[in-house]
């Protein structure tokens, strides 16, 4: 939702009306709205980065487990003579 849509929905008047009427506070409100949207975008980007890092960490754990199991398998084969 854009700020203009938000204003129209909540005041029943469009931004053209508010600009002509000199409605006090809408400049500040627009800045606050844009800052909140930017903050939301940054939070989403950080979450995506954390998820990507977690997936990389999971892949490393899985590779370690696979290598460890291969070593155990070879070790067991030596012990059992297989």
For the stretch 4-23, pLDDT in tens is: 898 888 889 888 888 888 87
- What is the band of 44 on the pLDDT scale with cuts at 50, 70, 90? very high
- What is the band of 46 on the pLDDT scale with cuts at 50, 70, 90? very high
Q: Report the distance separating Cα 57 and Cα 42, nearest Å.
A: 22
Q: Report the distance separating Cα 61 and Cα 67, nearest Å.
A: 10
| Higher pLDDT, residue 32 or 27 | 32
Task: Count structural domains, the chain.
Answer: 1
Three-state DSSP at 69 gives: helix
Q: How many residues does the chain have?
A: 82
Backbone φ and ψ for 3, nearest 5 degrees, come out as -60, -40
| Higher pLDDT, residue 62 or 30 | 62
Range of the domain at 51: 3-80
């Amino acid at each position: 939702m854009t700020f203009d849509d938000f204003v129209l929905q909540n005041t029943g008047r469009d931004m053209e009306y508010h600009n002509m009427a000199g409605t006090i506070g809408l400049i500040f409100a627009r800045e606050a709205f844009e800052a909140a949207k930017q903050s939301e975008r940054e939070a989403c980007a950080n979450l995506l980065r954390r998820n990507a890092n977690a997936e990389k960490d999971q892949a490393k754990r899985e590779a370690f487990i696979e290598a460890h199991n291969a070593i155990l398998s070879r070790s067991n084969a030596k012990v059992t003579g297989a």
